[in-house]
Amino acid sequence: MAKRSSSSGAWLKEHFDDQYVKRAQKEGYRSRACYKLLEIQEKDRLIKPGMCVVDLGSAPGGWSQVTAQIVGTRGRVVASDILPMDTLADVEFIQGDFTEQAVFDSLMAALGGQPVDLVISDMAPNMSGMKDVDQPRSMYLCELALDMAQQVLRPGGDFVTKIFQGEGFDEYFRTLKAHFDKVITRKPAASRPRSREVYLLGRGLKG
C-alpha cells in the first residue's frame, strides 16, 4: 500500500481537529461549510421562509440542508453538483457538470419558469495547487453562476458566490456592482484563515 504523504496526513489531522468538522458531526450537518452559510444568514438574512432557491455546487448538501430548513415546506430548493448527493427532504437535486449546456437546461426545466429569490453558489474547481490554473477555472465557475442568476432571479433577487481573491476578482466585483443594488464581501469564521476564499453577496438584482 502506498504511503500517505506527510502533507496529506497533516491535512487530515487538521480536518478532524477542526472545530467546525466536530460541530457538524455533533449537530447533524453534512459539512463544515454549513457554518459559512449560517454565519452569512445571521448577518444578512438572505434566506426567508417560502423562498425559491437555487444551490450550485451543492454536494455533499450542507448549504441545501441549511436552506431547506429555513425556506420550509412552502419554499423550494433546486440543487446541482457534478458529484452525487444523498437525498435531502424538500430538495430537488440534478447531478451533472454545470459547465455543460445539458445540465443548465435541466436546471431551467426543473424551475419551469418559476422566479427565483436567491441563487447560492459554493462551486469550486478541483484544485491543482497551481494558482495560474486554479484561479481562471474558479473565475469561470463564478461567471457561469452569475449568468444563471441573471437569467432566473426575479427583480430584487439576491446572489451569493464563493470566489477566490486573485486575478479577475476586481473585475468580477465591478460586474456585480453593475447588476445589483449592493455588493457585500464576507469572510466567514469557518473559512480557513489561509484560504483566499471569500463570499460575494449581490443584493437586489436590478430590473
Active-site annotation holder among 22, 162, 177, 206? 162
C-alpha distances (whole Å) from 55 to each of 67, 163, 166, 177, 190 are 9, 15, 24, 22, 19
Q: Report the first-to-last Cα separation within the chain, whole angstroms.
A: 58
Residue 89 DSSP class:
T
User: Any binding-site annotation on 122?
Assistant: yes
Known active-site residue 182: no
CA distances in angstroms from 84 to 43, 49, 50, 65, 88, listed in the order given: 30, 27, 26, 15, 12
Characterize 46-60 residue by residue with b for buried, 16 or more Cβ atoms within 10 angstroms of its Cβ, and e for exposed. Answer: bbeeebbbbbbbbbb
- Known binding residue 11? Answer is no
Measure the CA–CA gap between 12 and 175, rounded to whole angstroms.
Answer: 37
What is the Cα–Cα distance from 172 to 136, expressed in whole angstroms?
A: 12
- Tell me: is residue 63 an annotated ligand-binding position: yes
What span, in angstroms and rounded, lies between the C-alpha atoms of 96 and 107? 10
Task: Report whether 97 belongs to an annotated binding site.
Answer: yes
Q: Is 134 annotated as a binding residue?
A: no
Query: What residues are designated binding site for S-adenosyl-L-methionine?
Result: 61, 63, 81, 97, 122
Catalytic residue positions, numbered: 162
Query: What residues are designated binding site?
Result: 61, 63, 81, 97, 122
